[in-house]
Structures are given as C-alpha cells and as structure tokens.
Amino acid sequence: MPNMSPNKTPMPEQDPKIRSRNFDEVSTGYTEEMALNEAARCLNCKNPQCVTGCPVNIQIPDFISQIVKGDYEGAYKVITKSSSLPAVCGRVCPQETQCESKCVRGIKTESVGIGRLERFVADYHMNNYTGKIEKPESNGHKVAVIGAGPSGLTCAGSLAKKGYSVTVFEAFHTAGGVLMYGIPEFRLPKAIVQKEIETLKELGVEILTDMVMGKVMSIDELFDDGYEAVFVGTGAGLPNFMNMEGEGLIGVYSANEFLTRINLMKAYKDEYDTPIIRPKNVAVVGGGNVAMDAARSALRLGAENVYIVYRRSEEEMPARNEEIHHAKEEGVQLRLLNNPVRVVGDENGMVTGLECVEMELGEPDASGRRRPVAKEGSNFTLDVDAVIIAIGNAPNPLIRSTTPGLEANKKGCIVVDEATMKTTKEGVYAGGDAVTGAATVIKAMGAGRQAAESIDEYIMNK
Ligand SMILES: Cc1cc2nc3c(=O)[nH]c(=O)nc-3n(C[C@H](O)[C@H](O)[C@H](O)COP(=O)(O)OP(=O)(O)OC[C@H]3O[C@@H](n4cnc5c(N)ncnc54)[C@H](O)[C@@H]3O)c2cc1C
C-alpha cells in the first residue's frame, strides 16, 4: 500500500543558529527508515511524468521501487545508467522545477521527495559498497576533454565506459569545476565530489590538472598529439560586473572570487592562511543561487550583517526557494527593490558603503518579469565593508580565441548543433555552461552525455 501522507518525509537539518556559524552540511540526509517511508509515497505511475522532467531521464519510479524492496544497490544501478554524479545531483539539482514538478502527487499535495531519495541511494552506495569497478576493455581510440566540471566529467565517464582512452585537461589544481570552487561545502561537501571523481578514475579516466588549455596547448595541438576528438566543457567562469563607480575598491569581490577563496583555497579552515577580507557588514548584489551561496558563506566567515541587494521583489528572485528559505532562516537580510549605484570608499581605497536607490516594479520586460524602475531621490547608503557582485557569469574567451574555426555567439557561448553537441570545427564537441551560459549541473551532465554519444558515432564512422 502506498503511503498517502500529503507531505514529504522531512529532511533532518542542522539548527539555523548553529549552522550559520559552521561550514558543515545543512541537511544531514534521510535515515533508512525515512527513505523507506518516502519511497512508499511513489505511486509507480504507468506513464511516469517525473522521468520527462529529468534532463537525463533517470528511470525514477524504477529506482524508487528498488528502495521499497530494500535493494539500495539495485536503486543505485538504475540511477547510474543515466547519471554519473548521483550524490551531487541528489543535493544540488533544482528538483522542484524538474522531476518533482511533474510528479502526480504534487498536483494536490507535496510531490515525492525524489532528490532526497536519490541522495539517500548515492550516500548508501558510497558508505557501503566495497566492490571494485571493472575497467572496460580498451577500444584503442583517444579523446581529450577540456574542463573537469560536470559536463566534462560526464562526457569523460561515458566515453571511458565505451572503452575510449580519455584525458581530461583541467585549468585548476583540482577537478570538479563549480562543484569544487563555487558551491559551498555546507551544500555540497567536497569529499563527496572527490569520491565521485575517484570512481571515474577507476574507470580509467586520466585527469591532468594545472593545464590551462589555450595557453599550455591548443586544440589543434591536441589533434596533432593523436586525440581523435575533443570535448570542450570549460564552463562560464567569467564574472559580470555592474560597471558602477567604485567597483575597483578594496573589498569588492565577484562572487566567483569570494567563493573560490573560501572553497578551493579553504579560507573557512583555521589552518589555512588564505588571503580574504572577513567582512563585518557585507552587501551581496544579485538574487540567484550564487548570491545566496555568497551571502551564506559570508555569515559563516563571521559577518554580523549580510544583506542581499536585489532590484526586484522576492517573487522574481531566480534562486531556488529552498536556498532563499535557508538564507533567511540563517539571518541573511533581503534588501528587495533596491539597486546599487555606487560603491563608496575611504581615502585608503577601502569599501565603506554601497549607495543604492529604491525601485518599484513597472510593466513586464522581455523576460516576462516586471521591469524595476528607480524612484527618484530615494538614494541611501548601506554601511558595509565588502561588496560581492553576483549578477551572472559569461564563458571565458580563451578557448574560442585560440581555436580557429570554433564559432561563438554574441554572448561568447560556443555554437553547437543541439542534437549532437557538434561545434563548427571538425571533431570538436562542446556542452555545459560554455554553450548555454550559466545553467545547472544536470543540464551540463546531459550535454556531456549527449556529446559522448556523438563523439563515439563520429570516431566509429571515420
Ligand atoms: C556558486 C554557484 C552555485 C551554483 N549552484 C547550483 C545548484 O545548486 N544547482 C545547480 O544545478 N547548478 C548550480 N550552479 C550552476 C552549475 O554549477 C553549473 O551550471 C555547472 O557546474 C556547469 O558545468 P560545466 O561543466 O559546464 O562547467 P564548470 O562547472 O564551470 O566547469 C568548467 C571547468 O573547466 C575548467 N576550465 C575553464 N577554462 C579552461 C581551460 N582553458 N583549460 C582547462 N580547463 C578549463 C574550469 O576550471 C572548470 O573546472 C551553481 C553555480 C555557481 C557558480
């Protein structure tokens, strides 16, 4: 008999007052009993809409029915047929707008907690599985992957499973992309990302770090070296700024830099001497997930007041509801309908404030959201000693500027055929944020998997 409870089995979480001062994971995960309880809410629909809502089409009712039987390894096998990073996706996918938004239970009550169950299965496997991964037999072909984020790693894993010899070239000293340098430890523990990467290495994927491609080697040189195809998964790591007065002052960070110093350079650990300003009062400009991550990280570094300065209302905020809810619970203060116009500094070039103007919402613009309009004479200054700009990122131009024949659009995104992920250069495929601009982990993974299929077809038919 299904469990007809209208509500999801709650996820245990650290108390907001305690967690806002530590970097440990906020949600602590389902116990076996909770997972069985939640899995029993799935109606195992004949025509499961949840699967169509998943960008990589995980067979969701199948993995949930394995949980109901208590076969958690069986559930893991079902998920990993479609997703190579289940512990990551179970934590950071926006399920509420994807699989869970299509769940029939969600029409009248709360949808099944698909993400929570995925996380349970992946964690169970990590903690209990002792078997060795079998390295597939080599097919004698070599492929290069540039960028070790979710798109590159997924492409590499999918090709390795088919017997390709895959080398991943990563610019940073650690693989993982945004999973390592962007998303904070309290949402996605880095040890989990590294364990997922170890699994890929066991499959035979070689990962070379500190390799800024386009500088140390070009794509054409990779072909000269015997690679038969190249996948570009270099992400969108170039931060946008407001271009307002004072953005060059000491204490202004892009969210990328601030989060990289905390995550990759471990500023949150006492034993690391990472150069970073530990602000007392900080304004984070933007309303997306990146802004929430920066604000919540600033609190955990010890800030007393953390403001999110956003020019529209809470309804228009692009961040996940869960992230906004967690940020508010922890004490982040939302300054809605406020737009920054100038960073204020002192004679030493240090930030002392952020001048803002109040806004009101007018008619909807091209995005369908109501356009914010400044209220004349409403300027005021927030007293802050740091300003973090989180208004989006664009792809880095290095690869496209060093690769003749590789076309990009006006926004700097690499142009691909969407069905195959083939670029305008023979043998070169691309996917993830480098193609779409800033998007999601699961979409990047979907693109990596699609590109692997196309690369396989290309090499086999050559
Ligand atoms: C702070 C933050 C929070 C986010 N939160 C979420 C979330 O909760 N859920 C979600 O689904 N998505 C989230 N996202 C978005 C998500 O992380 C990205 O969409 C996803 O990581 C894109 O994957 P990717 O492989 O295309 O690129 P990336 O993850 O950016 O990886 C690209 C990799 O390529 C490397 N690289 C770049 N240039 C070169 C070069 N020239 N040579 C070699 N290597 C290179 C980079 O160092 C990087 O490791 C978040 C993003 C940020 C910044």
List average pLDDT for each run of 10 residues in the chain, which is 462 residues long. Answer: 89 94 94 97 95 94 97 96 91 93 95 97 94 90 98 96 97 96 95 92 96 97 98 97 96 96 86 87 97 97 96 91 94 97 97 97 83 93 97 95 96 96 98 96 95 98 90
Q: Which CATH superfamily is domain 16-128 in?
A: Alpha-helical ferredoxin (1.10.1060.10)
φ, ψ for residue 437, nearest 5 deg: 80, 175
Q: Which fold has domain 241-391?
A: FAD/NAD(P)-binding domain (3.50.50)
Q: Is the CB of 152 under 6 A from ligand 1?
A: yes
192 close to 85: Cβ distance less than 8 angstroms: no
Q: Which of 89, 95, 181, 234 to mutate to test the pocket of ligand 1 (most atoms within 8 A of CB)?
A: 234
Host H or E run for residue 303: none
Torsion sign across C-alpha atoms 310, 315, 317, 322: positive
| Interatomic CA distance for residues 89 and 48, integer angstroms | 20
Q: Is the CB of 146 under 6 A from ligand 1?
A: yes
pLDDT of residue 134: 84
Residue of minimum CA distance from atom 26 in ligand 1: 432
pTM above 0.75, yes or no: yes
Q: Is the CB of 288 under 6 A from ligand 1?
A: no
Closest C-alpha to 139, from 120, 116, 166, 117 = 166
**C-alpha 241 – ligand 1 centre gap (Å):** 18
**C-alpha 235 – ligand 1 centre gap (Å):** 5
Closest C-alpha to 176, from 268, 263, 291 = 263
119 close to 92: Cβ distance less than 8 angstroms: no
**C-alpha 236 – ligand 1 centre gap (Å):** 7
For 212-251, b where at least 16 C-beta lie within 10 A, e where not — what string? Answer: ebbeebebeebbeeebbbbbbbbbbbebeebebebbebeb
pLDDT of residue 273: 85
For 154-176, b where at least 16 C-beta lie within 10 A, e where not — what string? Answer: bbbbbbbbbebbbbbbbbbebbb
* Residue 422 Cα distances to 21, 232, 322, 448, 454, angstroms: 46, 10, 36, 11, 8
Residue of minimum CA distance from atom 7 in ligand 1: 92
Q: Is the CB of 177 under 6 A from ligand 1?
A: yes
Q: Is the CB of 93 under 6 A from ligand 1?
A: yes
**C-alpha 13 – ligand 1 centre gap (Å):** 26
Amino acid identity at 97? T
- What are the residue ranges spanned by the domains of the chain? 16-128, 142-237+394-460, 241-391
| Interatomic CA distance for residues 18 and 441, integer angstroms | 29
| Interatomic CA distance for residues 311 and 400, integer angstroms | 33
Residue of minimum CA distance from atom 19 in ligand 1: 440
Residue of minimum CA distance from atom 41 in ligand 1: 213
* Residue in this structure with the two tokens 């203060």, named with its chain if needed: 333
pLDDT of residue 42: 97
Q: Is the CB of 289 under 6 A from ligand 1?
A: yes
The answer to whether 16-128 and 142-237+394-460 have equal CATH topology is no
Q: Does domain 142-237+394-460 fall into CATH 3.40.718.10?
A: no
**C-alpha 179 – ligand 1 centre gap (Å):** 7
